[in-house]
């Protein structure tokens, strides 16, 4: 089947389910999610076996350890996917929710009601757990979804979608509401992006090159989830213990994800105390520190940094999403300089300040223009599940209705609903000298 025909077939099948999904009862949606959770456990050996194929192929291609980590599915991660399904099932159903209602002077009642977006195309790389997260959120929010994972996880994604579809069949959920691009032919994506009218929105989730390619080639609206160049600023009034723990966690706990920090910004007056200490702990974790002139001169011969790789930073490093045990360091003279740095080099994803000064913390929150801004906490919490949203489609860095973790409510949009009792604009109706005639026979009126 040609790419154009293949893409059209997927989109048409998904589109046909839209009206059914809109009227689907919450109970059926929840049953399908919970049955999927059960099947993940029942078929976990199959999942691990298929994932092993992807890992072996990735190793042959020389993928980095960080990327291999993103690809891997083990029993722990399968249990995490099970929990995501249970969490999403437990959330209130946003579809049909009346979010506003007011009465106009003429008696019209005007309100807004949440409705699904329609058909969503999500294009993602590496992490197969996104298949479960994206599908579960779309199913609960009554959206049809077309899943396009990366070629590196084709086997893992295929088995996960097979499990979802089995759950759909067993619970009377429309099976075609979850469609899967079961091919590594890249031209299919380009054809899908042309299907304006069949697909309502595209969500790319992955590297910057993928997102830019989708945004530039799509004829349908795109919600962008750009790279995570996250910054942590250590203020001169920071608590040292908090600063060290947060800086360590935000870089080391899982460096291969978008909410890990890539730039460490430190106030000059605390740098001599803080940087050697964090260099010691980073060294033990295998973190390479790319340092500006001040921090390089401070650390290159410092005994606490003897086991840490210290190299001079290049300006382009500050723009880089390393997704690895690498961090760029910048020493600044003020909070304003730190905010300017974040504005220039960050990606408006997640940024944090460590400070005990309330006024500085609030200034940071107000002036740093990012999807998530923190005071005294690790940026690693920017995640739909960690925020209590069940799961996420990704972290939107767009300034639209969806910004930050894109979860259930962000997969719906308000439409206006109006209740009247014969109101007319400017009270202009049939002229009073004209008789309104009603054919009672054709209307079955007596």
* Domains, the chain, with CATH or none: 3-225+393-417 (3.40.605.10), 230-381 (3.40.309.10)
Contact 99, 112 (CB under 8 A): yes
Q: What is the pLDDT of residue 440?
A: 57
pTM of the model: 0.81
CB 364 within 8 A of CB 373: yes
% helix, strand, coil for the chain, step of 5: 45, 20, 35
**CA neighbor of 367 nearest in space, from 388, 389, 395, 336:** 336
| Cα–Cα distance measured from residue 93 to residue 196, given in angstroms and rounded to the nearest whole number | 27
Whole-angstrom CA distances from 393 to 311, 319, 389 are: 36, 24, 11
One digit per residue, the tens of pLDDT, for the chain of length 446 reads: 799 999 999 999 999 999 999 999 999 999 999 999 999 999 999 999 999 999 999 999 999 887 898 899 999 999 999 999 999 999 999 999 998 999 999 999 999 999 999 999 999 988 899 999 999 999 999 999 999 999 999 999 999 999 999 999 999 999 999 999 999 998 999 999 999 999 999 999 877 788 889 999 999 999 887 788 999 999 999 999 999 999 999 999 999 888 999 999 999 999 999 999 999 999 999 999 999 999 999 999 999 999 999 999 999 999 999 989 999 999 999 999 999 999 999 999 999 999 999 999 999 999 999 999 999 999 999 987 788 877 777 788 776 777 787 888 899 999 999 999 999 998 888 887 776 676 656 555 54
How far apart, in Å, are the Cα atoms of 328 and each of 229, 247, 276, 289? 11, 12, 15, 6
CA distances from 278 to 258, 266, 290, 306, 414 (A): 21, 11, 13, 12, 47
* Residue appearing with tokens 């009034």: 237
What is residue 70's predicted lDDT score, i.e. its pLDDT? 85
* Cα separation values, 28 from 32, 89, 135, Å: 6, 10, 15
What six digits make up the tokens of 213?
Answer: 């390619």
Q: Which parts of 365-444 are beta strand (E)?
A: 372-375, 395-396, 404-405, 412-419
3-class secondary structure, 152: helix
Assigned token pair, 432:
């009073």
Residue with tokens 């005007």, as numbered in its chain: 110
Tokens 């690693």 correspond to what residue? 380
**Cβ partners under 8 Å of residue 369, min gap 6:** 343, 348
Q: Could you give the 3-state DSSP secondary structure of residue 287?
A: coil
Cβ-proximal residues to 301 (8 Å cutoff; 6+ apart), any chain? none
């Amino acid at each position: 089947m040609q790419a154009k025909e293949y893409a059209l077939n997927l989109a048409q099948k998904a589109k046909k389910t839209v009206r059914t999904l809109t009227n689907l009862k919450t109970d059926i949606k929840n049953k399908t999610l919970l049955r999927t959770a059960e099947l993940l456990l029942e078929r976990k050996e199959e999942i691990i076996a298929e994932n092993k194929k992807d890992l072996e192929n990735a190793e042959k291609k020389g993928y980095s350890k960080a990327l291999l980590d993103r690809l891997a599915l083990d029993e722990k991660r399968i249990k995490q996917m099970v929990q995501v399904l249970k969490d999403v099932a437990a959330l209130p159903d946003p579809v049909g929710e009346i979010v506003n209602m007011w009465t106009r002077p003429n008696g019209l009642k005007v309100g807004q009601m949440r409705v699904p977006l329609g058909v969503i195309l999500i294009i993602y790389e590496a992490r197969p757990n996104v298949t479960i997260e994206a599908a579960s959120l779309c199913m609960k929010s009554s959206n049809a979804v077309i899943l396009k994972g990366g070629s590196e996880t084709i086997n893992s994604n295929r088995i996960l979608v097979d499990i979802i579809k089995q759950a759909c069949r067993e619970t009377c959920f429309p099976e075609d509401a979850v469609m899967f691009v079961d091919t590594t032919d890249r031209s299919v994506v380009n054809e899908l992006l042309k299907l304006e009218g069949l697909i309502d929105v595209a969500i790319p989730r992955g590297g910057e090159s993928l997102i830019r390619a989708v945004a530039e080639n799509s004829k349908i609206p795109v919600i962008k989830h750009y790279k995570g160049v996250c910054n942590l600023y250590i203020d001169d009034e920071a608590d040292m213990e908090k600063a060290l723990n947060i800086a360590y966690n935000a870089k080391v706990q899982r460096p291969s994800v978008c909410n890990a920090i890539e730039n460490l910004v430190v106030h000059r007056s605390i740098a001599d105390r803080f940087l050697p200490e964090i260099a010691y702990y980073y060294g033990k974790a295998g973190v390479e520190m790319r340092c500006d002139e001040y921090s390089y001169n401070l650390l290159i011969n410092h005994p606490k940094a003897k086991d840490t790789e210290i190299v001079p930073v290049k300006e382009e490093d500050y723009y880089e999403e390393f997704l690895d045990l690498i961090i760029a360091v910048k020493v600044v003279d003020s909070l304003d300089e730190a905010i300017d740095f974040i504005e220039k080099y960050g990606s408006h994803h997640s940024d944090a300040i460590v400070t005990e000064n309330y006024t500085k913390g609030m200034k940071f929150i107000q002036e740093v223009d990012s999807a998530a801004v923190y005071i005294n906490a690790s940026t690693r919490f920017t995640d739909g599940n960690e925020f209590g949203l069940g799961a996420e489609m990704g972290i939107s860095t767009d300034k639209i209705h969806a910004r930050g973790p894109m979860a259930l409510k962000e997969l719906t949009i308000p439409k206006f609903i109006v209740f009247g009792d014969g109101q007319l604009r400017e009270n202009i109706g049939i002229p009073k000298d004209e008789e309104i005639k009603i054919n009672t026979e054709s209307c079955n009126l007596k």
